[in-house]
Amino acid sequence: MFRAGGMSRTAALSMLLAWTASAVPNVTVEPLVDSCASYPNYDDSTGQAGPWSAIADSTDTDVDGFGFVPVYASPVGDGARWGFITIPTKPPAKEVSMRCANGALQAQLDMRSLGIRWQDLVAAGTSNEAAFGFGFPDLPDPNRRLEPYAHVDLNGVRQPGVFVGSENVTTWGFNYQNNKEAGEYYFLRLLTPGSENPATGRPLNDGEFTGFIKIRD
Ligand SMILES: *[C@@H]1O[C@H](CO)[C@@H](O)[C@H](O)[C@H]1NC(C)=O
Ligand SMILES: *[C@@H]1O[C@H](CO)[C@@H](O)[C@H](O)[C@H]1NC(C)=O
C-alpha cells in the first residue's frame, strides 16, 4: 500500500463538481491488439512505437490538451526513484517523452542512480489507488499493465486517437495535489471496478474529475 497524498480541496463546491462534472463522452472502449503496433509511429524494424507524448483528454476542464510531467517521490532503498506521471495545472514547458517498447508503455525518466532511462508505466496499487506512475517499490498490490484502446461512438464510428488504460477501462480520475516540491498538479488513478472511495463509497473522491489519456500523434 502507498498513499498518493491527502486531498487538498475540501470546499463544498468541489464535492458538487465531483458529482456533476462527468465530462467523459459516451463512447465504447474497444481493446486494440495488445502490441506496440497499435500505437502511432510504429517502426516494424525495431518493434517500437514513438517517441511521442500524451495529453489529458475529455476532462472538460482547463487541462484538456496538457501534456504529462513526472513527479518523483523520495528514493527507495537502492536509490532508484519512483513516482507519478501527472498533469500540471499550467501547460508544462517540457512534456515527458513516451514510447511503446517490449509491449509496454514507457516514459523517459531521470531514475537517478539508474540514470536517464525508459521506464515502464503502470497503474499501481489496490483498485481504489491504481495510480499512473513508475518504479513503485515492491507492492503487495497489483501493478496493472497499460494497454492501447480505441474509442467508438454510438454510431460505431471509431474516434481519432489511441487511449491508454487497462482491464477495458480508459477513464481516469484526476486528483488535485499541491505540495512544496512539485507545486500544483493532478495525479491520475484508473477507475476500474472497485475504485470507489473506500471512506464514502462514492465513485469519485472530493474534487476529482474524469478524463482520458490520449497519445499525441
Ligand atoms: C450512453 O449510450 C448508451 C447506449 O445507447 C445509453 O444507454 C446511455 O444512456 C448513454 N449514456 C449517456 C450518459 O448518455
Ligand atoms: C475486454 O473486452 C474484450 C471485448 O471487447 C473482451 O474479449 C475481454 O475479455 C475484455 N477484457 C476484460 C479484462 O474485461
DSSP letters of 90-147? S--SSPPPEEEETTEEEEEEE-GGG-EEEEEEEEESSTTT-EEEE-----SS-EEEPE
> To the nearest whole number, what is the mean pLDDT of the chain?
87
pLDDT band at 96, cuts 50/70/90? very high
**pLDDT over threshold 90, residue 15:** no
pLDDT band at 7, cuts 50/70/90? very low
The residue contributing the CA closest to ligand 2 atom 3 is 31
**pTM for this prediction:** 0.86
153 lines ligand 2 (CB under 6 A): no
167 lines ligand 2 (CB under 6 A): yes
pLDDT at 139: 64
CA of 114 to the centre of ligand 2 (A): 36
**Ligand 1: residues whose CB is within 6 Å?**
26, 154
Of 143, 41, 53, 148, the residue nearest 103 (C-alpha)? 148
Mean pLDDT of 131-159: 88
pLDDT at 180: 85
CA of 30 to the centre of ligand 2 (A): 8
Question: 88: domain range?
Answer: 3-216
**pLDDT over threshold 90, residue 79:** no
**pLDDT over threshold 60, residue 125:** yes
28 lines ligand 2 (CB under 6 A): no
pLDDT at 23: 57
CA of 26 to the centre of ligand 1 (A): 6
Mean pLDDT of 26-44: 96
CA of 191 to the centre of ligand 2 (A): 16
Lowest mean pLDDT among 23-32, 34-43, 58-67, 75-84: 75-84
Lowest mean pLDDT among 112-116, 143-147, 192-196: 112-116
- Give the total number of structural domains in the chain: 1
**Under 8 Å between Cβ of 124 and 141:** yes
**pLDDT over threshold 70, residue 140:** no
